Amino acid sequence: MATLARMGDGFVPGLDLAEAFYHRAVAPLIEVPHAACLLGEGSEVLGFDTPRSQDHEWGPQVQILLKPEHVEAVQSRVRKGLPPDFDGFATAWYSLAAGTVTHHVRVMPLTDWIVQVLGLDPRGGMDSAAWLGMPQQRLLHLTAGRVFRDDDGELTRVRRLLAWYPGDVWAWLMLSGWHLIGNTEPLRGRCVETGDMIGVRLLTAKLCRLAMELAFLQERRYWPYDKWFGAAFGRLAASTVLSPLVETALSGAEPQATAALREALLWLGGRHNDLGITAAVRPAYGPFEVGINGGATAG
C-alpha cells in the first residue's frame, strides 16, 4: 500500500497524495482493466506544488482511463464507494470546471481524454505542422505527471509517442531559436551604444529567454508556461552554467551584462556542437554588419 510522507511543513506533494489515494481508496472499487494516473493541468503534475497550491483545484484526485463500455459502471461504484475523506483531506472539493463541490476521480475512455487534452489522437500520426502547432504545456499535460497503473500499456505508449519531437521538428525549433537570437543581438548592442537602457533591459530579457529555451531544446525537455518556466529551467543540467550568467545579464550593469550574454551564447553554441546533429561550427562573437546596396556596414 502507498503511504504518505509529509514534508517538514506537513505538506504532501500532490503526486504522492494522488498515488496513495488511488491505491488505498479508489483501486479497490474498480474490477476491470484500466489505467490510473495524475496527468493534465496543475502545478502538482509538474512537481511544483507548495502549500499555496491548496487554495484552488488541489486535493485527492486521479484519472481512471478505461474502455467506453466500463465507464458508467465504474463511475457509479466510485460515486457510491468513495470515502468522504482521505488521510485528513476531503475527497469532494470545489471544481472550477463544474462550478460545484464534487469528487475528483475522473473516469473516462482513454481516447476521449487524450483528444480532450491535445485536440487530436497522436496514435493516428502527427505531421510536422501538428507538432509545431502544439503548445509545449499541452505536451507536458500528457508526458509529465505520474502513472500508477496501466493494464494494457496503451497510456504508456501514448506518453512515449509524445516524449519528444521528431528529429526534423527538433532541428527546426533550434534553428528558429538561433535565428531569433541573431535578429535580436544587434538591436541590444545599438541600444547600449545610444544609452537607451530601457531598450537594453527589454532586449536582454528577450535574449535570456531565448537562450533558456535553447537549453530546454538541447536537453530534449519541454518547457512549461511562464509561472513555472524559471523553476523548470533550474532543473536542467545547463542551469548550473547558465543561471549565474542570466542573473548577471539581467542585473543591467554594463559591461558585465554584455559579457555574460556573450559567454552564455558561446557556451550554448559549443553545446550545440556536442549534440552532433549538424556539422560543427566554432562559436565566435564578432561585429554585426548590415549589407546596404552591396556594401557592408557595421551596426
Q: What is the pLDDT of residues 24-56, one digit of tens each?
A: 999 999 999 999 999 999 899 999 988 888 777
Rounded CA-CA distance 173/176 in Å is 5
Cis ω for the linkage preceding 255 (within 30 of 0): yes
Residue percentage of the chain with pLDDT more than 90: 78
Mean pLDDT score of the chain: 91
Beta carbons of 38 and 14 less than 8 angstroms apart:
yes
Tell me yes or no: is domain 167-298 CATH 1.20.120. yes
Query: pLDDT at position 73, please?
Result: 96
Q: Cell 554594463 sits at which residue? A: 254
From first CA to last CA, the distance across the chain in angstroms is: 66
DSSP string, 183-234: HHHHHHHHHHHHT-HHHHHHHHHHHHHHHHHHHHHHTT-----HHHHHHHHT
Given pLDDT bands bounded at 50, 70 and 90, which one contains residue 299? very low
The SS3 assignment for 80 reads helix
| Span 280-296, average pLDDT | 76
Query: pLDDT at position 1, please?
Result: 47
177, three cell numbers: 531559436
Rounded CA-CA distance 58/38 in Å is 12
DSSP state at residue 50 = -
Q: Which of 237, 227, 243, 236 is nearest to 45 (CA)?
A: 227
- CB-neighbour burial class of residue 19 (10 A; exposed 0-12, middle 13-18, buried 19+): buried
Per-residue pLDDT for 98 more than 80?
no
Query: pLDDT at position 46, please?
Result: 94
Q: Where are the domains of the chain?
A: 14-161, 167-298
Query: pLDDT at position 232, please?
Result: 98
pTM: 0.90
Query: pLDDT at position 252, please?
Result: 76
Query: pLDDT at position 253, please?
Result: 87
Query: pLDDT at position 49, please?
Result: 87
Backbone angles phi, psi at 253, to 5 degrees: -80, 130
Report the amino acid identity of residue 161.
L
Given pLDDT bands bounded at 50, 70 and 90, which one contains residue 293? low
Cβ neighbors of 225 (< 8 A, separation 6 or more) are: 137
Query: pLDDT at position 6, please?
Result: 53
Backbone angles phi, psi at 180, to 5 degrees: -65, -40
How do 295-298 and 289-292 pair as beta strands?
antiparallel
Rounded CA-CA distance 299/290 in Å is 6
Indicate the Cα dihedral angle 47, 39, 36, 130, nearest 10°: -140
Residue percentage of the chain with pLDDT more than 70: 94
Beta carbons of 55 and 46 less than 8 angstroms apart:
no
> pLDDT of 64-86, one tens digit each?
999 999 999 999 999 999 999 99
The SS3 assignment for 152 reads coil
> pLDDT of 217-275, one tens digit each?
999 999 999 999 999 999 999 999 999 999 999 997 889 999 999 999 999 999 999 99
CA atoms within 13 A on the CB side of 106: 16
Query: pLDDT at position 59, please?
Result: 85
Q: Note every long-range contact of 95-103, with CB atoms under 8 Å and residues 24 or more positions apart, other chains counting.
A: 95/57, 96/56, 96/57, 103/78, 103/79
Task: Pick the more confident residue, 133 or 103.
Answer: 133
Query: pLDDT at position 4, please?
Result: 57
Rounded CA-CA distance 138/222 in Å is 10
